[in-house]
Amino acid sequence: MSICDQKKAWTETVVAKNIAKAPERKADFRTTSNIELDRCFAPDFEYPAYEEQLGFPGRYPFTRGVQPTMYRGRFWTMRQYAGFGTAKESNERYKYLLQAGQTGLSVAFDLPTQMGYDSDAGMSAGEVGKVGVAIDSLADMEILFDGIPLDQVSTSMTINSTAAILLAMYIAVAEKQGVSADKISGTIQNDILKEYMARGTYIYPPKESMRIITDIFAYCKDHVPKWNTISISGYHIREAGSSAVQEVAFTLADGIAYVEAAIKAGLDVDEFAPRLAFFFNAHNNLLEEVAKFRAARRMWAKIMKERFKAKDPKSQMLRFHTQTAGCTLTAQQPDNNIMRVTIQALAAVLGGTQSLHTNSRDEALALPTEDSVRIALRTQQVIAYESGAADSIDPLAGSFLVESLTDQIEKAAFDYIDKIDKIGGAVEAISRGFQQKEIQDSAYAYQKSIESTDLVIVGVNKFTVANETAPELLKVKEEVEIAQKKALAAMKTKRDDARVKSALQKLEAVAKGSDNVMPAILEAVKTYATLGEIADVFRTVFGKHTETVVL
Distance CA 5, CA 7 (A): 5
Q: Is residue 432 within 8 Å of residue 547, measured between CB atoms? A: no
Using CB atoms within 10 Å of the CB of residue 306, give its burial: 0 to 12 exposed, 13 to 18 middle, 19+ buried.
Answer: exposed
Beta-strand relationship, 276-282 and 230-233 = parallel
Q: Which pLDDT score is estimated for 11?
A: 76
pLDDT at 65 over 70: yes
Q: Which pLDDT score is estimated for 401?
A: 96
DSSP classification of residue 507: H
Confidence of residue 23 (pLDDT cuts 50, 70, 90): low
> In the chain, which segments carry CATH 3.20.20.240?
70-451
Q: Which pLDDT score is estimated for 182?
A: 97
When mean pLDDT is compared across 6-20, 225-239, 307-321, 403-417, the lowest value belongs to 6-20
Helix, strand, coil share (%) of the chain residues, nearest 5: 55, 10, 40
pLDDT at 550 over 60: no
pLDDT at 46 over 70: no
pLDDT at 54 over 60: yes
Confidence of residue 493 (pLDDT cuts 50, 70, 90): very high
Sorted by sequence, the CB contacts under 8 Å of residue 105 that are 6+ apart come out as: 79, 82, 94, 97, 98, 148, 153, 154, 155, 156, 186
Q: Which pLDDT score is estimated for 6?
A: 76
Distance CA 280, CA 325 (A): 9
Distance CA 363, CA 80 (A): 13
Question: Phi first, then psi: what are they for 358, rounded to 5°?
Answer: -110, 125
What is the overall mean pLDDT for the chain?
Answer: 93
Confidence of residue 348 (pLDDT cuts 50, 70, 90): very high
Q: Which pLDDT score is estimated for 469?
A: 83
Beta strand segments in 83-153, E: 104-108
CATH number for the segment(s) 70-451: 3.20.20.240
Q: Which pLDDT score is estimated for 549?
A: 60
Q: How does pLDDT run across 392-434, given as a tens digit for each residue?
A: 999 999 999 999 999 999 999 999 999 999 999 999 999 999 9
Q: Which pLDDT score is estimated for 306?
A: 98
Residue 105's SS3 state is strand
CA–CA distance from 389 to each of 41, 82, 144, 350, 385 (Å)? 13, 26, 35, 7, 9
pLDDT at 126 over 90: yes
Beta strand segments in 97-255, E: 104-108, 154-158, 185-188, 227-228, 230-233
Greatest extent of the chain over all pairs of C-alpha atoms, in Å:
74
**pLDDT > 70: percent of the chain:** 97
DSSP string, 266-290: T--HHHHGGGEEEEEEE-S-HHHHH
Q: Which pLDDT score is estimated for 103?
A: 80
Evaluate if pTM is beyond 0.85: yes
pLDDT at 371 over 70: yes
pLDDT at 13 over 90: no
pLDDT at 495 over 70: yes
Helix (H), strand (E) at residue 220: helix 206-223
Question: Phi first, then psi: what are they for 190, rounded to 5°?
Answer: 55, 25
DSSP classification of residue 305: I
Q: What sign results for the dihedral spanned by CA atoms 59, 303, 431, 117?
A: positive
Beta strand segments in 199-349, E: 227-228, 230-233, 276-282, 320-324
Helix (H), strand (E) at residue 313: helix 313-316
Confidence of residue 22 (pLDDT cuts 50, 70, 90): low
Confidence of residue 16 (pLDDT cuts 50, 70, 90): confident
Q: Which pLDDT score is estimated for 48?
A: 64
pLDDT at 475 over 90: no
Alpha helices by DSSP H, 332-458: 336-350, 370-386, 400-423, 426-431, 434-451
CA–CA distance from 268 to each of 227, 236, 313 (Å)? 18, 29, 14
